[in-house]
Amino acid sequence: MPYGQKIIDGIKKSAATYTAHNVALGFAIGVLFGTLPTLFGIEIIIAAFVAALLRASKAASILGALLVVNPLVGPFFMATSFYIASLFGTIPYTPSGIWHMITHLEFGATLLYFTLGYAIVSITTATIAYIVVYSSIEKYHKRMLEKQIKQNYNQKG
């Protein structure tokens, strides 16, 4: 069984056994740490650890981190964070301005603004992920309950 299928099976099991809050919290934790700039792979381990500490779904946290830690999505978060950082300070949001900053090692206040930009993007994205997953799991639980009631009614009828 491929690794991705194991994670999806873990999410289905989590959705059936955990509350919507636990699954959504786990997913949001994964998204939060997945969007932060860390070494590849570390954020997945951190997300699973924090999810375990908070008694959230570890499978959902791993899936959340994996969805945002990839070469297609990562640059979007970096560019968005850099743009938000440029709103707070004197960071040139142009390729030549970024290249100048990197080559001249001008990272003092820029690092602070960049961290603030990443924090805003990460918290916002994790909050949106929580809301979407929570409502999806609630709908799933409602559908499963209706299905179970229907089956019980048909067995008695």
Interval 117-154: pLDDT, tens: 889 999 999 999 999 999 988 888 788 878 878 777 77
Total count of residues recorded for the chain: 157
The mean predicted confidence, pLDDT, of the chain is 80
Which pLDDT score, from 0 to 100, does residue 7 have? Answer: 59
pTM of the model: 0.77
- Token digits of residue 95: 């390729």
Q: What token pair was written down for 152?
A: 């019980």
Confidence (pLDDT) at 30: 94
Which residue type sits at 93? Y
Query: 50: which residues sit within 8 A by CB, 6+ positions away?
Result: 29, 33, 61
Alpha helices in 54-107 (DSSP H): 58-68, 74-88, 95-103
Give dist(CA 129, CA 138) in Å, integer. Answer: 14
pLDDT surpasses 80 at 81:
yes
